[in-house]
Amino acid sequence: MLNSKNKPARPPASLEERIFLALLKAADALGQEAEQLTRSANLTGTQYNVLRILRGAGPEGLACRAIGERMITHDPDITRLLDRLEKQRLITRERQKDDRRVVKTRITPRGLELLKPLDQPMRDLHKRQFRHMAGSRLKTLYDLLEEIRVVPQN
């Protein structure tokens, strides 16, 4: 069937498709604002995420694989990302003596200092992004998003 512009008619989007697209658009809008903030520290959103993960890991640090598992978005080239952070002296990497296959990554004092001035502005940004929603609705939204995220993939 053709529409008035001689294009194939598209079936109406399912509710699931509309939800999927709404989630992507919302994530993009929220992420763009956060990315502007991280740019003020000359970091990409992904670099900021890695530094936050390493700060949370504490002095013992994490192996590359563990960093990848904790990242918000999948980065197929995490090694190159870590190379750039190491070159900026924001992280260190050290091969483990007990298992030479494992390289532990740790945040440096310089990396910690770079994150510190971003902490409160990032909290403020997130508060502002969701200020129009009641706390109970935010809790429901969080629960629903977690439910979506942990669904087993077939």
pLDDT tens digit sequence for 97-114 = 888 788 899 999 999 999
3-state helix, strand, coil in the chain (%, to 5): 60, 10, 30
Q: What is the pLDDT at residue 2?
A: 53
Percent of the chain, pLDDT > 70? 94
Collapsed DSSP state (helix, strand, coil) of residue 91: strand
Average pLDDT over residues 90-102: 87
Distance of alpha carbon 68 from alpha carbon 45, whole angstroms:
14
On average, the pLDDT of the chain sits at 90
3 within domain boundaries: no
CA distances from 11 to 8, 14, 22, 24 (A): 9, 9, 18, 21
Which letter does DSSP use for residue 58 in this model? G
For the chain, what is the domain count?
Answer: 1
Confidence (pTM): 0.82
Q: What is the pLDDT at residue 81?
A: 93
Q: What is the pLDDT at residue 85?
A: 96
Lowest mean pLDDT among 8-12, 47-51, 91-95, 143-147: 8-12
* Structure confidence by residue, pLDDT tens digits, 4-48: 667 777 788 899 999 999 999 999 999 999 999 999 999 999 999
**Domain around 75:** 39-135
What are the strands, taking DSSP E only, across 2-154?
62-63, 91-95, 103-107
97 within domain boundaries: yes
* Structure confidence by residue, pLDDT tens digits, 56-68: 999 999 998 899 8
What one-character-per-residue DSSP string does 12-30 give? Answer: PPPHHHHHHHHHHHHHHHH
CATH of the domain at 47: 1.10.10.10
pLDDT at 153 over 70: no
